[in-house]
Structure 1
Amino acid sequence: MNNKHASSHLPSSPYSARQAVPVRELHAGYREEILNHLLQLNDEDRRLRFGTQTPDEVIRHYVESLDFNRDVIFGVFNLDLELVGMAHLAYLPERKGEARAAEFGVSVLPEGRSQGLGTALLQRSAVHSRNTNIETLYVHCLANNKAMMHLAQKAGMTVEYAYGDADACLKLPPANPATIVEEAANAQWAGMDYALKENLKRSNQAWWWLLGRPGLAP
């Protein structure tokens, strides 16, 4: 089993090289959007995300079983309010004498890739973890998941490989006033971004209605 330490570290704010990425915390009312997002993943993307071949019925069960009171789900929406990026921050059971830990899983649709969405989702999850007293953030995936391994190494995670799987680990420092402010600012910003996109979508729908809904006629 080999250890691999990345020389880079998790950025202090969720920026890609070209744009800022607003990340919104999702509640149970977004279950349908989460399901639609995951069903759009092709067979290979599902295998990389869940570690095995994952048919539609398994995804539906996964979404139905999400516990929004226990875990945290983050998402990135496009201009049409479609969920193009999603992260599941799952809190692991507490064990006496061990650090509190959470596991990070992420998926991004093809249209959202190479835009910094994965980095932004990981950053948002890491800050939230710190603010909720999580000391260790884990990622478990297939060793050939190049996108996830790149993301983990870019974040400065320690990565161990064994039997075709990979486990990445990031030790988190305690929360401080800066992380509290950062999360609050990110939440407010993501809320404003969502509201603007929602208003834009409603405006477009109103115009479609006034113009006789072009493109919808048989």
Structure 2
Amino acid sequence: MHKICFKGAAKPTRKPFICGLNSLPVRELHAGHRAAILAHFLLLDSEDRRLRFGLPSTDVVIQSYVAELDFKRDAIFGIFDTNLKLIAIAHLAYLPVGNKRSKAAEFGVSVLAENRYQGCGAALLGRAIVHARNTQVTTLFVHCLAQNKIMVHLALKAGMQIDYAYGEAEACLKLPPANSSTIFAEAVNVQLADFDFAVKSNLNQSNKALRWLLKKTKAQ
């Protein structure tokens, strides 16, 4: 369903961040991450699920949502902790317009409770904005419950125009075309995220080997 950009409600409090290098490594996810994505959403409590999806969401609903994620059409981004657990996920969903690639996309994000207020949401939104511009998106939307103060704050921080109606908040941001800065920023962000993931993977493998060795030594 196409979202509408309303005018005249809440004004952005600062100039939007349009492109740049992320302070946190944000990795684009693929179908091989589906199980990790599901595990992330299942860790959200009932209230967090309601705020993220706009309505109460059971495990079955979330399983269906994750199973239907289209990684070829949309872009999914995530932030991993040192144990390779997905602590934050963003979904950049391209709004359908026939057989053509959409010029509009909707942004949704979730962060585990213990990892909030650490810049995860801002890093994901910044990464999504750069990717959206580089894929010719001209309008970015955020649709959430008005009670979702964290998401509303993030939208305002990004310079979005917000309108409130019937307990919901609708935000929109017009994006300028891609340029050499956005292309460079995305390329660097991809490399940094891949390097970060590789380091964490190697560290986890080393820790597993060390635990196995210690366990074997104690058994002798």
Runs of at least 4 residues of structure 1 off by over 6 A? none
Contact 1:10-1:123 at 8 Å conserved across structures: no
Between Structure 1 and Structure 2, how many residues are aligned?
A: 209
Q: 2:10 aligns with which of 4, 7, 16?
A: 4
TM-align CA RMSD: 1.9
Q: Deviations over 1:140-175 (max 9, x none)?
A: 000010000000000000001000011000100000
Report the alpha carbon displacement of residue 66 of structure 1 after superposing the two structures with TM. 0.3
Q: Equivalent residue for 2:128?
A: 125
Report the alpha carbon displacement of residue 3 of structure 1 after superposing the two structures with TM. 1.4
Report the alpha carbon displacement of residue 93 of structure 1 after superposing the two structures with TM. 1.2
Q: 1:213 to 1:49 in 2, by over 3 A?
A: farther
Q: Which moved more, 1:193-202 or 1:205-214?
A: 205-214
Distance (Å, rounded) in 2 between the aligned partners of 1:30 and 1:91:
20
Q: Secondary structure at the match of 1:137?
A: strand
Distance (Å, rounded) in 2 between the aligned partners of 1:112 and 1:185:
24
Q: Equivalent residue for 1:170?
A: 173
TM-score by length of 2: 0.91
TM-score by length of 1: 0.92
Gaps of 5+ in 1: none
Q: Does 1:13 align with 2:20?
A: yes
Report the alpha carbon displacement of residue 24 of structure 1 after superposing the two structures with TM. 0.1
Q: Secondary structure at the match of 1:5?
A: coil
Q: 1:79 to 1:163 in 2, by over 3 A?
A: same
Contact 1:158-1:169 at 8 Å conserved across structures: yes
Give 1:1-218 correspondences, 5 Å limit.
3-11=9-17, 12-13=19-20, 15=22, 20-94=23-97, 100-212=103-215
Report the alpha carbon displacement of residue 5 of structure 1 after superposing the two structures with TM. 1.5
Specify which structure has the bigger relative contact order, considering alpha-carbon pairs within 8 angstroms and separated by 6 or more residues: 2
Q: Deviations over 1:55-102 (max 9, x none)?
A: 000000000000111011000000000000000000001279xx8100
Distance (Å, rounded) in 1 between the aligned partners of 2:46 and 2:9:
30
